[in-house]
Amino acid sequence: MLNAQDNQHVTQTGPGTPMGELMRRYWIPALLSWEVAEPDGTPVRVKLLGEELIAFKDTDGKIGLIDNYCPHRRASLFFGRNEECGLRCVYHGWKFDVEGNCVDMPSEPAESNFKDKVKVLAYPCMDMGGVVWTYMGTLENQPPPPLFEWTQVVETHRAVNKVLQESNWLQGLEGGVDSVHASYLHNNDITNTSRFESRSAAPSIEVEPTDYGYAYGSVRHLSKEEGNFVRAYQFIMPFTQLRPDDRRESSSSPKVAGHMWVPIDDEHHFVWNFVYSLGDEPLTEADKAKHSDLAYEVIDINNGFRCIWNADNDYGIDREVQRTQTFTGILADARVGANLQDRGIQESMGTIVDRTREHLATTDRAIIATRRMLQEAANVVGDGGTPRGTGPSYYKVRSIQRVLPVNVPWQEGMKDLLFEGAEYSPIME
């Protein structure tokens, strides 16, 4: 439970809010690279942390992310002409480059130097891993680039997409660090009682803080002989989760998947989904499909990346399927994965869940740790300090799942796999 003030503190990310200031210390995914693929192509509306912005790729292939509103008399630059290394406002012709400089002001006398005094707000961008990233903070605090391992593997080994979620961002993140709900929400075969999550629906949740966030293990005891089934996740500040993608350890080509829950404004966010292959094998068509073109048949890219199954149609719930086959009756096939179930149930909690009325239990340990870490980091920023996760220590961390003997703690038994090659600082507290 949080009091109303703390609930505001952790959920609001607009300019000047504590959590908003915290988020402005990290690189943030702004849009998919293909949305601005064409030099001099169509500008794209982007809303991030409550700020209305316009993305465009200039003649030289540089990407700009600038204020939606022209600094002259506030016309939307979405209507701008993207021409010869700049976006020209169609109201009076002022033109801006990707850095926000006014490079032409044809409506003023030739001898005027007014254009040198006018700038439009512009954020630096970086195109990496199929994503255009931006940094919305001050220059002196700019962190090193977001070299998550998944952004660094070759294109055949990774896939990424995004979908609109009509709720506050923290609801998404809190679902993502809650592996307990897999036993219910994602039980897509209620007749299969041998599934680990069905055999052991009350895992113990163990959180191990690091200097970038935390690793956590959900430990499901199977039996003395079989051992414990452990799924180890990573939380990387401020909104990234890594989780093991393979359902069971026997897979020949291990994969790591993850999400980023990125605020559009306080009532909407984008859920970014990514997956990558750790081995030599590229992703299969099925892996790619879930994260690329096939998914776009159900994600309406012409309607703000909203899924065609949404609150208006109760996420396509099928009560007969719910009675006989799956726990929810909400679709979880190759096109939507389990994400539709997550989105449906998280939106059902209200746009910004009223955390004064919840009752957290022992399995909510990771959720409590997340809130605490976010609030603490926001306070660090408020005090002029550097929040965790702004260094490169998260670059190579991974997620993994294993069945371990009962006497082997996952922190030890999985250490090599979770942190192979990573220069992380272990357990700080």
Residues contributing to the site for ligand FES (CB under 6 A): 70, 72-73, 75, 89, 91-94
Which tokens go with 65? 């992310």
The item of ligand FES, Fe ion, none sharing an interface with residue 81, based on CB under 5 to 8 Å by kind, is: none
Answer yes or no: are the C-beta atoms of 51 and 15 closer than 8 Å: yes
The item of ligand FES, Fe ion, none sharing an interface with residue 70, based on CB under 5 to 8 Å by kind, is: ligand FES
Answer yes or no: are the C-beta atoms of 215 and 234 closer than 8 Å: yes
Phi and psi dihedrals of 228, rounded to 5?
-115, 140
Is residue 342 a contact residue for Fe ion (CB under 5 A)?
yes
Binding part of the chain for Fe ion, among 216-224, 246-254, 341-349, 416-424 by CB under 5 A, reads 341-349
Nearer to ligand FES, 23 or 70 (CB): 70
Nearer to Fe ion, 63 or 271 (CB): 271
Helix axes 365-382, 169-176, angle to 10 degrees: 130
Min CB(338)–Fe ion separation in Å: 5
The item of ligand FES, Fe ion, none sharing an interface with residue 342, based on CB under 5 to 8 Å by kind, is: Fe ion
The item of Fe ion, ligand FES, none sharing an interface with residue 247, based on CB under 5 to 8 Å by kind, is: none
Min CB(60)–ligand FES separation in Å: 23
The item of ligand FES, Fe ion, none sharing an interface with residue 261, based on CB under 5 to 8 Å by kind, is: none
Nearer to Fe ion, 35 or 342 (CB): 342
**DSSP designation for 102:** E
The item of ligand FES, Fe ion, none sharing an interface with residue 296, based on CB under 5 to 8 Å by kind, is: none
The item of Fe ion, ligand FES, none sharing an interface with residue 56, based on CB under 5 to 8 Å by kind, is: none
Rounded CA-CA distance 249/251 in Å is: 6
Nearer to ligand FES, 88 or 388 (CB): 88
Nearer to ligand FES, 75 or 147 (CB): 75
Residue 345 C-beta-side C-alpha neighbours within 13 Å: 17
Min CB(171)–Fe ion separation in Å: 12
The item of ligand FES, Fe ion, none sharing an interface with residue 268, based on CB under 5 to 8 Å by kind, is: none
Strands 51-57 and 400-404: unpaired
Rounded CA-CA distance 306/167 in Å is: 12
Burial 290-323 (b: 16+ CB within 10 A, else e): bbbebbeebbeeeeebbbebbeeeebbeeeebee
Coil, helix or strand at residue 76: strand
Number of residues binding to Fe ion, judged by CB under 5 A = 1
Binding part of the chain for Fe ion, among 71-79, 254-262, 340-348, 362-370 by CB under 5 A, reads 340-348
Min CB(142)–Fe ion separation in Å: 33
Choose among 63, 114, 106, 65: nearest CA to 88: 106
Give me the sign of the Cα torsion angle 84, 89, 94, 95: negative
The item of Fe ion, ligand FES, none sharing an interface with residue 121, based on CB under 5 to 8 Å by kind, is: none
Nearer to ligand FES, 81 or 415 (CB): 81
Is residue 197 a contact residue for Fe ion (CB under 5 A)?
no
Name every residue whose Cβ is closer than 8 Å to that of residue 125 and which is 6 or more positions away in sequence.
30, 55, 63, 64, 65, 98, 132, 133, 134
Is residue 51 a contact residue for Fe ion (CB under 5 A)?
no
Phi and psi dihedrals of 334, rounded to 5?
-60, -25
Rounded CA-CA distance 283/274 in Å is: 12
Nearer to ligand FES, 113 or 192 (CB): 113
Min CB(344)–Fe ion separation in Å: 10
Nearer to ligand FES, 100 or 143 (CB): 100
Strand ranges inside 125-249, DSSP E: 125-128, 131-135, 158-165, 204-209, 213-223, 227-236, 240-244
Min CB(125)–ligand FES separation in Å: 22
Nearer to ligand FES, 96 or 270 (CB): 96
Q: Is the peptide bond before 124 cis (omega within 30 degrees of 0)?
A: no
- Residue number with the smallest Cβ distance to Fe ion: 342
Give the H/E segment covering residue 284.
none
Nearer to Fe ion, 97 or 342 (CB): 342
Q: Which residues bind Fe ion (CB under 5 A)?
A: 342
